[in-house]
Structure 1
C-alpha cells in the first residue's frame, strides 16, 4: 500500500491559508481561531471558532460537487429528520488557492467508531425515517438545480466486483486469513452482474465517516454531501448492512418500506465496497482506528 497516491491532494490547505482566505472574505470571522479537523478523499476541513466548519476542496474533482452542495442543501431543510450542515458562507479562491470553499454551521457529535450493537440499534428507525424522507425529495426540483444522474454507474456490479477483487488482493497483508476468505467467498457466490436502475435523490456517500452520533451512540448528524446525485436507493441503503446490526434490519425496512431483492443485493455489495476503500486510505494514513472500524463494517455487512 505504500506509494498509493489515488487520494493525494492536488492543493494543500494549511491552517494559515485557511485563516487568510476566511478572514479576507468574511471579516466577521477574522478574530476566530482556525483549527484543522481532518480531511477526506476530496476536502480538507477546518473548525472556525466553535460555531462553524469550513470545507476546502483538495482536488479539482471536488469543485463542482461543492458548488452543488451550496445550491441544493438549503432546499432540503423541510425533508430531513437528522441534522445536517447548512452552507452559510460561500468563498472563492484567492492567494493562489484555485477553488471555491464553503462554511457551514458546526454539528456536534463524534464519528460512530467502536460502537456496540446495542448503541447502533438505537438508530435503526431514525435512519429509516431519514432516508425515507431524503429519497422522497422531488426529482424535478433536484434536476432544475442541476443534480446529475448516477455518475458512478453503481448498478454495474460485475465491473465493481472485479475492482473489489483486486482491492482485497492488494490488502491481503492487512487482512487476517478469516477476513480475506470471508470477502473472497462472498464475491465467489455473488452471481448478480447488474441491477435495474432506479432514480431517487441520494446523499451518495453514506458511511461511518460521514455520520455523527451523540453521547448515547444514536446518529445525530449527516455530513459531506459532495456526492449528491439521482440514482439507485441501494447507494444510501448500504448503511443498513454496514452500520446496523443484522437483527435490526427488519425494523429499518418496516419503517422505510419494503425493497426488492435486487436492491438488497446491491446495498450489501456497496456496504462492503465502501469500507474497503476507506480501509485502503486509512492504511496509507496509518490510521489504525479507522482501519479496524472499516473491518468491522465489512464483517457486519457480510453477516445475515
Structure 2
C-alpha cells in the first residue's frame, strides 16, 4: 500500500521499457533508452533523439493518460507554444498492466534557477498560450471525455485546510521567516469556494511541466495528464508562481482582465502546488526541487 500519493504502484525499469518497445514498436528497437525522471503519475523516458515516452506509475494515472491521448491531437490549431504530441499508443500487456504514450520530443530544460529578468520575457508568451487554450471549444473537449474539475480545485476552504495541515512538515525546511509569511498568507484567505467558470485547462501548470530554451524563454509545455474543464485560475496561477510581480500586469494585459475571485484562486494555487512539490522533494531528498519549490512559494507570495 502506498504511503504517499506520489509513491509508485508499478516499477518501470529501462529494461522493461526496452522490452515493451521491442514488442510493440519494433521500428524503435535501435533507439537508445534514457530515463529522464518522474512525477506523481508517470515515469518518463527519452527514446533516441526524437521521442519521449510516459508510463503510468499508478492505476489512477491510466484514465488521465487516455484522456490526454484523445484531446492532445485536437489542440494543434489552438496552442501557441510547442507541446508534446502523441504518436505512439502503447497497449497494456502481460509485461506491463497499463497503456502508455510516446510523444514528439520538445527541446528545452526545466525553468529552474532563472532570474526575474529571464522570467519576465515569457509573460506575454504564457498569456497568449493560455488565452488560446482557454478558447478551445468546450463541446469538443466534452465529446472527447475530458473530465470536469476532477481535482476539485475550486474548493478554496478545503484547500486552505490542507495547506495549514502541510505546515508542520514544511516549516523546518522553509525557515521561520518564510514559514511565518506562508502561514500568515493562508490565514488571509476568506473565500470558501470559487464560482463556476469553465474553460479547457492544462490543470497542472507549474515549473516541472514547463520547458525553456537556453535563454530562459518558454519553449514548451509538457505533461497534460490533468487536462480538464475547470476554472481558468488553475492555469493563471503561473502569473504568480512563474512570473515576478513586475511582469504580472503585462501578462494580464495580454490575457485579458479577470475578476478578483480568479486572482485569489490563482495565487492560492500558485502557493499550493509548490507546497506539494516541496513535500515530495523532502521525502525524495531532492535538494534541487526543494530549493526551486521554496523559491516558487516566495515568488507567489510577493
Q: Same fold (TM over 0.5)?
A: yes
Equivalenced residues, count: 301
The reply to whether residue 40 of structure 1 matches residue 31 of structure 2 is no
1:55 counterpart residue number: 54
1:141 counterpart residue number: 140
Runs of 4+ in 1 over 3 A off after TM superposition: none
8 Å contact 2:44–2:54 — kept in the other structure? yes
8 Å contact 2:53–2:103 — kept in the other structure? yes
Structure 1 CA distance for aligned equivalents of residues 233 and 221 of structure 2: 17
1:75 counterpart residue number: 74
2:249 counterpart residue number: 250
Q: Residue 167 of structure 1: CA displacement?
A: 0.6
8 Å contact 1:19–1:34 — kept in the other structure? yes
5+ long unaligned stretches in structure 1: none
Structure 2 CA distance for aligned equivalents of residues 140 and 9 of structure 1: 34
8 Å contact 2:46–2:53 — kept in the other structure? yes
Please give the TM-score of this superposition, normalised by the length of structure 2: 0.98
8 Å contact 2:14–2:34 — kept in the other structure? yes
CA deviations on 1:90-149 (whole Å, 9 max, x unpaired) are: 001224310000000111100000000000001000000000000000000000111111
SS in 2 for 1:241: helix
1:88 counterpart residue number: 87
Structure 2 CA distance for aligned equivalents of residues 49 and 237 of structure 1: 34
2:229 counterpart residue number: 230
Structure 2 CA distance for aligned equivalents of residues 189 and 226 of structure 1: 31
Q: Output aligned runs, 1:1-304, within 5 Å.
A: 5-303=4-302
SS in 1 for 2:79: coil
Structure 2 CA distance for aligned equivalents of residues 216 and 150 of structure 1: 35
Q: Residue 188 of structure 1: CA displacement?
A: 1.5
Structure 2 CA distance for aligned equivalents of residues 108 and 175 of structure 1: 32
Q: Residue 4 of structure 1: CA displacement?
A: 5.2
8 Å contact 2:128–2:254 — kept in the other structure? yes
8 Å contact 1:282–1:291 — kept in the other structure? yes
SS in 1 for 2:88: strand
SS in 2 for 1:216: coil
8 Å contact 1:21–1:95 — kept in the other structure? no
8 Å contact 2:9–2:57 — kept in the other structure? yes
CA deviations on 1:28-76 (whole Å, 9 max, x unpaired) are: 0011111111100000000001110000000000000101111100000
Q: Residue 173 of structure 1: CA displacement?
A: 1.7
Q: Residue 197 of structure 1: CA displacement?
A: 1.3
Task: Please tell me the root mean square deviation across aligned C-alpha atoms, in Å.
Answer: 1.0
8 Å contact 1:186–1:302 — kept in the other structure? yes
Structure 2 CA distance for aligned equivalents of residues 213 and 176 of structure 1: 30
Q: Residue 80 of structure 1: CA displacement?
A: 0.4
